[in-house]
Structure formats: structure tokens, C-alpha cells
């Protein structure tokens, strides 16, 4: 029977080895005595996502700010108008970063989180939005989002700010 330390060490090592193919960084084994339960759960979630199992979860709101740059501001106001009509979703593409103990890890291959439906908070008038204003988007009929690995990705094809 494995010790408690071995019971966490093996899964951490296996999941890091699985994630290694999705990043150029070398994923070094952390000191597992410093890994929190939450950190281990997130590592397990990422390993599952990169293994091809999308993660479905509930979201409650997203707050956006109208940018100063006019073209970007116009794009965000258009999104607010579409959300008011209930004809839009949000997609967030990111290269995940996570902690295990005191080590920070990054994965190059992006994941995408997509809301199933969004609406503009009823207290917001999109025609009155100006640079610097913030507004809320809330779930529409379906309060779920799905996070999955981006397929057909090549390094450099997506730029992250």
C-alpha cells in the first residue's frame, strides 16, 4: 500500500508528464509536500482537458470595461448591443498558468472557455457606454460554459497579451 506521499507524488508526476507535450517549458516535479489540494485539483482538471475531456461549468457574470482606443471601444459596445439582443457568446482563449507548491508552470498550447449564452445586465444601456465605463454580462438561458483544448493549434498562431 502506498504512503500518503506516494499517493500524491505518482499522480502529480503522471499529470505533469502528460502536460509536457503541450509546452516547450520543462515541467519539473515540485516538492509535493507543498502542493495544496486546490492546486492538485486544478492540475488534474488541466490534465483531463488536455486529454480530450471538455470541462463544463457554471458561470455567474463577466465584467468588461470599454477601452480608451476608439476601434476597440466600438467593438466592445457592439458586443454589449449583441448581448442585449441575446445573440452572442463569450470566448476566452488562454495559455494556462498554474502553481504547484511554490513553482509556477505554464502551458503553451491554449485552452478556450466558451459561454453557452450571455445577456447584457438589464441595468445597462449600451448606447450610453463610453470609454472607461464597465458593464456586466450575465448568463442567458444556459448558465454553463465549456473549457476545452484548442485543436489545430500551432505555436505562434495565437498571440496573447
- pTM beyond 0.75, yes or no: yes
C-alpha cell at 95: 495559455
- Tens digit of pLDDT for each residue in 79-117? 999 998 887 889 999 999 999 999 999 999 999 999 999
For residue 57, give the DSSP letter: E
Amino acid at each position: 500500500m502506498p504512503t500518503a506521499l506516494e499517493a500524491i507524488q505518482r499522480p502529480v508526476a503522471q499529470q505533469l508528464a502528460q502536460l509536457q507535450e503541450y509546452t516547450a517549458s520543462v515541467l519539473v516535479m515540485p516538492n509535493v509536500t507543498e502542493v495544496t489540494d486546490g492546486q492538485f485539483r486544478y492540475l488534474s482538471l488541466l490534465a483531463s482537458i488536455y486529454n480530450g475531456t471538455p470541462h463544463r461549468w457554471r458561470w455567474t457574470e463577466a465584467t468588461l470595461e470599454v477601452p480608451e482606443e476608439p476601434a476597440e471601444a466600438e467593438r466592445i459596445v457592439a458586443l454589449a448591443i449583441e448581448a442585449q439582443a441575446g445573440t452572442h457568446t463569450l470566448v476566452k482563449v488562454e495559455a494556462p498558468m498554474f502553481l504547484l507548491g511554490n513553482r509556477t508552470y505554464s502551458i503553451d498550447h491554449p485552452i478556450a472557455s466558451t459561454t453557452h449564452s450571455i445577456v447584457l445586465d438589464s441595468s445597462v444601456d449600451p448606447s450610453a457606454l463610453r470609454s472607461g465605463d464597465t458593464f456586466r454580462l450575465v448568463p442567458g438561458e444556459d448558465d454553463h460554459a465549456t473549457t476545452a483544448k484548442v485543436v489545430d493549434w500551432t505555436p505562434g498562431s495565437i498571440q496573447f497579451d
